[in-house]
């Protein structure tokens, strides 16, 4: 099995696209760095404690007025009012008053997790279908290892690729952020849940963002991998997986406004970070344990179909 994984890993890194995707990810990090450095205020321009508190108090007044006038977006205004009051009472300056640091830079770069997700989908969708397209699948299957071992070696390679790219994003963000902005003092993130405000160290929030992001990669990779095994078409596997990823969460959230059953859909559960932020799940009855259970069921279904189709299908070269 290890030899098979090593072989798949070597084939993956012989692809030019693998290096191109890594380069694009690094360019994204550098782009965020340039933007952050360009808009970084000097130490003299940072507001003092009295100034940032006055700014928050003014924001509270405006939010209360907006809440009374329109009555719309009550949750948004109530959350911001509560968080700003909490910062004033507990002497917790906002990010705009502390300046950029490696921690805030890494937090900003979590937006690149969406780009990374697309890359993982592409690799998972092509690692099987490319073998059928080129005809090398026949050469692979005449060897002693069983089809299940061959299939699982490809899947493990995809997961290793996802972890590697996640480590690249984390490492590049940390190194560049430390070099250009220094370590500084990690700010405190506020979580608004059920009318109560809780604080969380920024370092812990970062760890949660990256860990929950890895769970999302696993599910997206498994979905694309299963579609690739079923249809043997790179284009179809990539198109279906990316389309579901792009519109899945939005459609699920829209349906969840009126119905309870969308909580059983895949994209209502892939973002485990929703249980650690103020946003919360799309359906109130959902819990972290529920989402983990749903994801396990979906994983078993996807891998079950992938194994079944890969074992059952007659091997022929497609054009």
3-state secondary structure 92-106: CCCHHHHCCCHHHHH
Sequential pLDDT tens for the chain (319 residues): 778 778 778 888 888 989 999 999 999 999 999 998 888 777 677 788 888 899 999 999 988 888 877 655 567 788 888 889 999 998 888 877 777 889 889 988 999 998 998 999 999 988 877 766 655 655 555 565 577 788 888 899 999 999 999 999 999 999 999 999 888 777 778 888 877 888 888 888 888 888 888 888 889 889 988 888 887 777 888 888 888 888 888 898 889 888 899 999 999 998 898 888 877 888 888 999 999 999 999 999 999 988 888 777 655 544 4
Distance, C-alpha 56 to centroid of its chain: 31
What pLDDT is attached to residue 143?
Answer: 60
Residue 113 contacts residue 212 (beta carbons within 8 Å): no
User: So where are the chain's domains?
Assistant: 2-39+100-312, 41-98
Q: Which residue in 69, 298, 63, 95 sits closest to 185, CA to CA?
A: 95
Residue 276 contacts residue 193 (beta carbons within 8 Å): no
What pLDDT is attached to residue 133?
Answer: 65
Phi, psi (rounded to 5 degrees) for 200: -140, 130
What pLDDT is attached to residue 290?
Answer: 95
The separation between the first and the last C-alpha atoms of the chain, rounded to the nearest angstrom, is 29
What pLDDT is attached to residue 315?
Answer: 54
Q: Which residue in 170, 54, 31, 44 sits closest to 99, CA to CA?
A: 44
Report how far apart, in Å, the C-alpha atoms of 232 and of each of 132, 203, 226 are.
7, 42, 10
- The strand pairing partners of 197, in sequence order, are 192
What pLDDT is attached to residue 318?
Answer: 44
pTM of the entire predicted model: 0.83
∠59-204-274 over CA atoms, to 5°? 70
């Amino acid at each position: 099995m290890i030899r098979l994984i090593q072989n798949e890993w070597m084939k993956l890194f012989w692809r030019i696209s693998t290096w191109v995707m890594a380069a694009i990810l690094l360019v994204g990090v550098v782009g965020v760095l340039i933007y952050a450095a360009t808009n970084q205020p000097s130490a003299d321009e940072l507001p003092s404690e009295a100034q940032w508190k006055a700014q928050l108090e003014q924001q509270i007044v405006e939010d209360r007025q907006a809440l009374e006038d329109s009555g719309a977006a009550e949750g948004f205004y109530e959350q911001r009012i509560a968080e700003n009051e909490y910062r004033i009472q507990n002497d917790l300056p906002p990010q705009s008053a502390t300046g950029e640091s490696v921690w805030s830079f890494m937090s900003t770069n979590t937006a690149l997790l969406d780009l990374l997700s697309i890359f993982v989908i592409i690799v998972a969708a092509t690692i099987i279908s490319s073998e059928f397209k080129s005809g090398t699948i026949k050469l692979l299957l005449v060897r002693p290892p069983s089809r299940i071992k061959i299939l699982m070696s490809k899947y493990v390679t995809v997961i290793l690729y996802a972890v590697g790219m996640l480590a690249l994003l984390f490492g590049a963000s940390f190194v560049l952020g430390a070099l250009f902005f220094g370590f500084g003092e990690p700010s405190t993130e506020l979580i608004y849940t059920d009318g109560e405000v809780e604080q969380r160290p920024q370092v812990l929030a970062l760890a949660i963002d990256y860990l929950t992001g890895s769970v999302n990669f696993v599910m997206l990779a498994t979905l694309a991998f299963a579609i690739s095994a079923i249809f043997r078409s790179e284009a179809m596997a990539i198109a279906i997986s990316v389309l579901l990823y792009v519109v899945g969460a939005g459609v699920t959230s829209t349906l969840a406004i009126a119905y309870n059953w969308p909580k059983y859909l895949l994209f209502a559960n892939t973002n485990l970070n929703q249980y650690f932020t103020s946003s919360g799940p799309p359906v109130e009855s959902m819990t972290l344990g529920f989402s983990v259970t749903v994801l396990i069921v979906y994983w078993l279904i996807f891998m079950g179909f992938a194994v079944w189709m890969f074992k059952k299908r007659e091997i022929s070269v497609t054009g």
